[in-house]
């Protein structure tokens, strides 16, 4: 079974989701604005073998007007993302999608540049 991040929720400033399809807690990294979010944890999900609860404290630096997108990664794999929208309501949800695409493109760009340096 492949790793799958089930839809998460935000409560008390912490985003939480369940990662399934794993035997042990994989290394999980969350990025926002190109920076790693500190304090991410993965703990066994009660009553769900092969599942882990991922908890991400939302940093105060991310609480700004506009759309803020967080990427959830394990190694080179993107497990999922979550988005915060604050302040003035955006004209359409397309802004959130665009922000996610930009974040993923930046991630791919960095990976390609690293690959080019290592092989060139």
What is the pTM (predicted TM-score) of this model?
0.73
The CATH number of domain 4-119, selected from 2.60.40, 2.30.30, 1.10.1060, 3.40.1000: 2.60.40
Question: What is the tens place of the pLDDT at every residue in 20-44?
Answer: 988 888 899 999 988 999 999 999 9
Q: Is the pLDDT of residue 108 over 60?
A: yes
Predicted confidence (pLDDT) per residue in 49-83, tens digit: 889 999 999 999 999 888 889 999 988 888 999 98
The ranges assigned to domains in the chain are: 4-119
Contacts of 6 (CB under 8 A, 6+ apart): 17, 18, 19, 20
7 or 9: which leads in pLDDT: 9
Nearest to 70, CA basis, from 28, 115, 19: 28
Residue 93 confidence (pLDDT) above 80: no
């Amino acid at each position: 079974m492949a790793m799958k991040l089930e839809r998460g929720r935000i409560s008390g400033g912490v985003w939480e989701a369940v990662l399934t399809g794993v035997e042990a807690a994989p290394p999980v990294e969350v990025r926002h604005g190109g920076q790693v979010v500190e304090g991410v944890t993965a703990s066994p999900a009660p009553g769900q073998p092969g599942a882990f609860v991922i908890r991400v404290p939302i940093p105060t630096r991310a609480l700004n007007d506009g759309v803020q997108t967080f990427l959830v990664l394990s190694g080179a794999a993107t497990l999922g993302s979550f988005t915060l929208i604050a302040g003035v309501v955006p004209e359409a949800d397309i802004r959130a999608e665009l922000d996610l695409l930009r974040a993923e493109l930046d991630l791919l760009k960095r990976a390609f540049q690293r690959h080019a340096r290592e092989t060139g």
